[in-house]
Structure 1
Amino acid sequence: MAPAAPGTGIGRKQGLDVDRTDGRRQLPWLLAVWGPTRLLLLLFVFKVYVFPGPDVTSDISVIYQGWYEILRTGTFPLDDVTWQYPPAAALAVLSPALLFFLDYAHAFFVLACLADLIAFALLSYAAGRPGRTPRGAWVWVVGVPLLGPTVYARYDVMVTAVAVAALLAGARHPRLMGALTAFGALLKVWPVLLLVAARGRRAWVSAAVTAAGVAALFALAMPGAFAFLTFQRDRGTEVESLGALVFHVARHFGWDGQVLLNYGSVEFLGPYVEVVSTAALALTGAAFGWLLLWRLRAVRFEPHTLADAAFVAVLLFTTTSRVISPQYLVWLVGLAAVCLCFRASRMAPAAGLVLAASFVTVLEFPVWFSHVVASDHLGIALLVVRNGLLVAATVVAARVLWRATVSRPAGPAPLPPQAARAKEPTPSS
């Protein structure tokens, strides 16, 4: 029997069967890696084993738990400038109350692991759908442990699980995507960028209605829901950011600024910091302008374009930010994983650069963070490599997105003269 022609119903069914078989065949291997690596992360945050560097769990046992005690009284931390999160972040901070039989920190770590599991399950399920591949699930399984125990000691993995769910729902369920995106944005702002390539009104309307409803509920129920908006104005330049490299080098030439814990992160404060911070904001503005130009000129939208554009947008805003905290990398790992779920996505090189940056990130924090704070040669080298990888990933991903959606596809190559003459019709005799 001759093989089915491409595009026939039989061909599509065979392709679907291949996708499902590939997804099922990879699942045991994915689980074999996910289980031990996540157990190791839990052993680190539960302090059965001690991870090198400063204790990354203190944010949970001290800062988060302090917020928890305030939030449970029905108000936001109005006098704490380190509270810089949208109102729905209160749900993440309060969530350990669900596991009342554990102490606060241990309950939080278990819930962070559960969010990791949910993202993994969504990516694994998506691997068996038509046009999908297990590559995305592998990016998540490998990428998360590369960041070390910090992943389970911040609530960013919970936000990323919501973002993964939103993007995977996007093509078939735009209203669900809009609602999840709005909820994610009210957890930590950045998921609003998932809508950059959303077409039609359904996702946008759903996001607007959800955001308005949830925000109004918090505003009415808890005082200070939007106080976080005023807690960002006096921030310096965080020591791990791209702009911070200026001051790391300048310290070797007599710059007399300081490195201090400020607004919840270790920052540079002193002469010219405001100039560098303003330059970072200008770069972020330029990134927004590029995204707007791309959106106006994009003409080709494939099922994977939604995820690819979100990945590029978050890369742009992360790389140009005046703060690049280690947990930000989990956002990029999650979005890269969704991109690579799609067989047609060409984001694999950028995803590889993000994975490499994740590994360097765990070296600069927490393993050798003292060298970063000291601005010694090792600390500067780590930041140059990590931030260089992020810049490279941003440029590569943006170029792929532009070429796939804006640039005109190349037409067929012109035939050589001999072939052109051969194709000319001959006069009938």
Structure 2
Amino acid sequence: METTGTRRSLAWLVGIWALTRVVLLLFVFKVYAFPGPDVTSDVSVIYQGWYEVLRTGTFPLDDVTWQYPPAAALAILSPALVFWLDYTSAFFVLCFAADLVVLLLLLYAGLRSGRTSRGAWVWVVGVPLLGPTVYARYDVMVTGVAVAALLAGARYPRVMGALTAFGAMLKVWPVLLLVAARRRGSWVWAALTAGVLAALFALAMPGAFAFLTFQRDRGTEVESLGALVFHVARQYGWDGQVLLNYGSVEFLGPYVDVVSTAALVLSGLAFGWLLVWRLRARSFHVHTLADGAFVAVLMFVTTSRVISPQYMVWLVGLAAVCLCFRESRMGVPVGLVLVASFVTVLEFPVWFSHVVASDGLGVTLLFLRNGLLILAALLAARELWRSTVPLPTPPPVPTESPRLRETSLPS
């Protein structure tokens, strides 16, 4: 009976995945129009433009919107593998394939002893909550690499290290997967893989690390936590502007540099907390690797100067890995991330014009989404600390010796 119930649950899971992904494909292929601005233009215009430049053997050095590590070139060039389709269609198909790979990894992990299919359900439900943006950015590919790295971590630390380094060379953030890694093999293989890839790209293609300058010059994006300062300030006469800058819609004007610096300080404080936690943690469980990675990336996303909608794909993927483990206590933070994902699709693309205008609806959506992320980060950090850092041992209560008690008795 238990086997029958498991098969029925898997059938529902796969069926819902297939149905929701068909709907996403219908939106990105424009069989049906999704509300708001066209999210696929990044693929048909920006990615394809980069593709044409990368094919010549160099990075797009004259384009400040290229803000990615060198291995990102592989993701941009990957549609060439599906040579019978045009670039945009091939990209969507590859994102769909990456989505399927993540599902299979989570299903395989969930069927092992001590695991659960909750993680696969998080992925099945979480991805469509973000709308067609998931298939219109290469982040789902990076998330697939990160999920594979975390699931390999416990038994194959070298594989985890190599995959983590490859993911970091695709889009930096997977380096945070190592925050709870204890096996030396993970760190050694991450360093070796990153070094080899960096050397190969530096020698083979000019401008492999120009993205570092472009990232440094970014401002405060309108969907970020710091942007709430200016959304409110516009109601009281702040005279800055909202413009497309460095590939995203950002605030430009008085005090933007101050808020951007404050965001960097917050990120620094978050990483400081992670360092203190890592030094004090003693009880490492089978799920701690995934929990630590989830907390680290959640803190990074929440405090970043930019919170693009596709960043939520990272969180959904890591949240899914956490809940593959029965003992993980990240259920509530994961639920908050899923709700935040739904609010994200409302603020972009559905009502993005209201966000840009800083009107009541747009500001409310941002306060809600960013508030959910803050709450999720705080609760997740608390659970991580409680499950790994031992409570201080209270000092022993002094007791009187028998001889002293006899001396103190009245005669």
TM-score where L is the length of structure 1: 0.90
Task: Give the superposition deviation at 1:234.
Answer: 2.3
Which amino acid is 2:96 matched to?
Answer: C
Q: 1:97 aligns with which of 80, 84, 95?
A: 80
Q: 2:270 aligns with which of 277, 287, 312?
A: 287
* Aligned counterpart, 2:377: 394
Local SS of the residue matching 2:215: coil
**How far, CA to CA, are the matches of 1:233 and 1:173 in structure 2?**
35
* Aligned counterpart, 1:157: 140
Which amino acid is 1:341 matched to?
Answer: C
* Aligned counterpart, 1:146: 129
Matched, 1:244 2:234: no
Matched, 1:368 2:351: yes
Summarize deviations over 1:46-84 as a string: whole Å, max 9, x none.
000000000000000000000000000000001111000
- Consecutive unaligned residues in structure 2, runs of 5 or more: 395-411
Which amino acid is 2:195 matched to?
Answer: A
Note the 1:403-422 alignment, pairs <5 A: 403-408=386-391
* Aligned counterpart, 2:49: 66
Local SS of the residue matching 1:232: helix
- The change in CA–CA distance for 1:408 and 1:22 in structure 2 (over 3 A counts) is farther
Q: How many residues align?
A: 394
Task: Give the superposition deviation at 1:23.
Answer: 5.5
Local SS of the residue matching 1:341: coil
* Aligned counterpart, 2:298: 315
CA contact (8 A) 1:81 1:231 kept: yes
RMSD: 1.5
Note the 1:6-45 alignment, pairs <5 A: 24-45=7-28
Summarize deviations over 1:96-118 as a string: whole Å, max 9, x none.
00111111001000000000000
Task: Give the superposition deviation at 1:207.
Answer: 0.5
**How far, CA to CA, are the matches of 1:177 and 1:141 in structure 2?**
24
Which amino acid is 2:24 matched to?
Answer: L
Summarize deviations over 1:281-338 as a string: whole Å, max 9, x none.
0000000100000000000000000000000000001000010000000000000000
Summarize deviations over 1:352-396 as a string: whole Å, max 9, x none.
000000000000000000000000000000000000000010001
Task: Give the superposition deviation at 1:232.
Answer: 1.9
Which amino acid is 2:63 matched to?
Answer: D
Task: Give the superposition deviation at 1:25.
Answer: 4.5
Matched, 1:325 2:279: no
Task: Give the superposition deviation at 1:24.
Answer: 4.4
**How far, CA to CA, are the matches of 2:99 and 2:392 in structure 1?**
39
CA contact (8 A) 1:22 1:134 kept: no
Matched, 1:273 2:223: no
CA contact (8 A) 1:307 1:338 kept: yes
CA contact (8 A) 1:318 1:328 kept: yes
CA contact (8 A) 1:22 1:128 kept: no
Which amino acid is 2:69 matched to?
Answer: P
**How far, CA to CA, are the matches of 1:407 and 1:333 in structure 2?**
29
CA contact (8 A) 1:135 1:337 kept: yes
Local SS of the residue matching 1:267: strand
* Aligned counterpart, 1:80: 63
Matched, 1:109 2:92: yes
- Consecutive unaligned residues in structure 1, runs of 5 or more: 1-16, 412-429
**How far, CA to CA, are the matches of 2:321 and 2:216 in structure 1?**
34
CA contact (8 A) 2:243 2:249 kept: yes
Q: 1:231 aligns with which of 207, 214, 221?
A: 214
Note the 1:154-193 alignment, pairs <5 A: 154-193=137-176
Note the 1:99-138 alignment, pairs <5 A: 99-138=82-121
CA contact (8 A) 2:283 2:390 kept: no
Local SS of the residue matching 1:300: coil
* Aligned counterpart, 1:12: none
CA contact (8 A) 1:22 1:133 kept: no
CA contact (8 A) 1:280 1:322 kept: yes
* Aligned counterpart, 1:203: 186
Summarize deviations over 1:260-298 as a string: whole Å, max 9, x none.
000000000000000000000000000010000000000
**How far, CA to CA, are the matches of 1:65 and 1:290 in structure 2?**
40
* Aligned counterpart, 2:341: 358
Which amino acid is 2:295 matched to?
Answer: V
CA contact (8 A) 2:166 2:193 kept: yes
Local SS of the residue matching 2:243: strand
Q: Any runs of at least 4 consecutive aligned residues in structure 1 with deviations exceeding 6 A, and if so which?
A: none
* Aligned counterpart, 2:205: 222
TM-score where L is the length of structure 2: 0.94
Local SS of the residue matching 2:251: strand
Task: Give the superposition deviation at 1:346.
Answer: 0.5
* Aligned counterpart, 2:402: none
Matched, 1:301 2:292: no
* Aligned counterpart, 2:319: 336
Q: 2:196 aligns with which of 202, 213, 219?
A: 213
* Aligned counterpart, 1:418: none
Percent identical residues: 79
* Aligned counterpart, 2:407: none
